[in-house]
C-alpha cells in the first residue's frame, strides 16, 4: 500500500544483531557478568567502574558486547547476540554413570541433582553466570557431587542432611576476596561425598616397576596450566 512505513523506518533495511535495542534485563545481566569477572581478577576496580558506567547507559547489544569481548566466559555475547538467559530449573538424573557440566555453560537459577551410584561434576571456572546465586537441590545416594569453583564463589551446605556421608568445602583464597556468586546446596546425601573447591592439582605419576626396582625417585607431577 502506498505510504506504508516499515517498522524500522528505513525501507526494507533490517538491523544487524549488534544494532538491536537492549532491554533493562540485558543491561542488568551484563552488569552482573562484569562483577563476576572482577571477582575472578580479570578486571581491576577502575576497569569495572568504567564498564559499569557504559553498561548502564548502553542502548544496543553491540555496545554491551564491546564490554565483554575480552572476557572468555562470555565470548559468545561478543558476536552481538543477547546475553544468554539462564533457565529457571535444570534437572540432572545420574544413575550408575557420570555427568559433567564444564566450559562456558549457562548456569541456571536452580538445579535438581538426582544421583544414585553416579558422579555429578559441575565446573564453574568458565561458566556463564548471569545471576547472583544458584540453588542446588540434591538427592545423592552412594554417589558424588563435585563443584569446581574459583575465587569469588561461595558455597553453603548448611541445609544439607547427611547420612554416612562427607562434605568438604575448600575456599583457599580466604575472606579477603569479595563474593560475586553464591551457591546454596540443600537436600539429602546418603553414603555419599559432596565436595566444593578449586581444581585439584593432578596426582603425581606412579613409578614403573623398573623405576621402583632401581630405587629411582618418583617423577614430578605435571605443572598446572
Please state, in angstroms and rounded to a whole number, the distance separating the CA atoms of residues 191 and 164.
5
| More reliable by pLDDT, 57 or 81 | 57
The confidence band for 148, taking pLDDT boundaries of 50, 70 and 90, is: very high
CA distance 190 to 70: 43
Residue with cell 563476576: 36
Residue 74 has pLDDT above 70, yes or no: no
Indicate if the pLDDT at residue 136 is higher than 50. yes
- Taking the C-alpha atoms of residue 139 and residue 169, their distance in angstroms, rounded to an integer, is 18
Confidence of residue 203 (pLDDT cuts 50, 70, 90): low
On average, the pLDDT of the chain sits at: 81
From CA 54, how far away is CA 67, in angstroms rounded? 8
Residue 189 has pLDDT above 80, yes or no: yes
Structural domain boundaries of the chain? Answer: 17-79, 90-197
Please say if the pLDDT value at position 138 is more than 50.
Answer: yes
174 alpha carbon, distance to own chain's centre:
20
Amino acid at each position: 500500500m502506498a505510504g506504508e512505513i516499515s517498522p524500522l523506518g528505513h525501507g526494507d533495511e533490517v538491523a544487524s544483531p549488534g544494532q538491536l535495542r537492549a532491554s533493562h534485563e540485558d543491561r542488568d545481566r551484563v552488569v552482573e557478568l562484569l562483577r563476576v569477572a572482577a571477582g575472578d581478577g580479570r578486571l581491576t576496580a577502575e576497569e569495572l567502574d568504567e564498564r559499569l558506567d557504559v553498561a548502564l547507559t548502553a542502548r544496543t547489544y553491540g555496545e554491551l558486547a564491546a564490554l565483554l569481548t575480552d572476557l572468555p566466559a562470555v565470548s559468545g555475547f561478543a558476536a552481538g547476540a543477547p546475553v544468554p538467559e539462564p533457565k529457571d530449573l535444570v534437572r540432572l538424573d545420574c544413575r550408575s554413570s557420570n555427568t559433567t557440566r564444564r566450559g562456558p555453560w549457562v548456569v541456571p537459577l536452580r538445579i535438581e541433582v538426582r544421583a544414585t551410584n553416579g558422579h555429578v561434576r559441575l565446573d564453574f571456572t568458565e561458566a556463564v553466570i548471569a545471576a547472583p546465586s544458584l540453588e542446588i537441590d540434591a538427592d545423592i545416594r552412594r554417589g558424588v557431587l563435585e563443584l569446581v569453583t574459583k575465587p569469588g564463589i561461595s558455597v553453603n551446605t548448611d541445609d544439607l542432611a547427611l547420612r554416612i556421608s562427607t562434605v568438604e568445602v575448600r575456599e583457599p583464597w580466604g575472606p579477603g576476596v569479595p563474593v560475586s556468586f553464591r551457591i546454596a546446596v540443600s537436600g539429602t546425601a546418603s553414603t555419599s561425598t559432596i565436595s566444593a573447591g578449586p581444581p585439584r592439582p593432578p596426582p603425581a605419576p606412579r613409578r614403573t616397576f623398573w623405576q621402583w626396582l632401581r630405587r629411582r625417585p618418583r617423577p614430578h607431577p605435571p605443572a598446572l596450566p
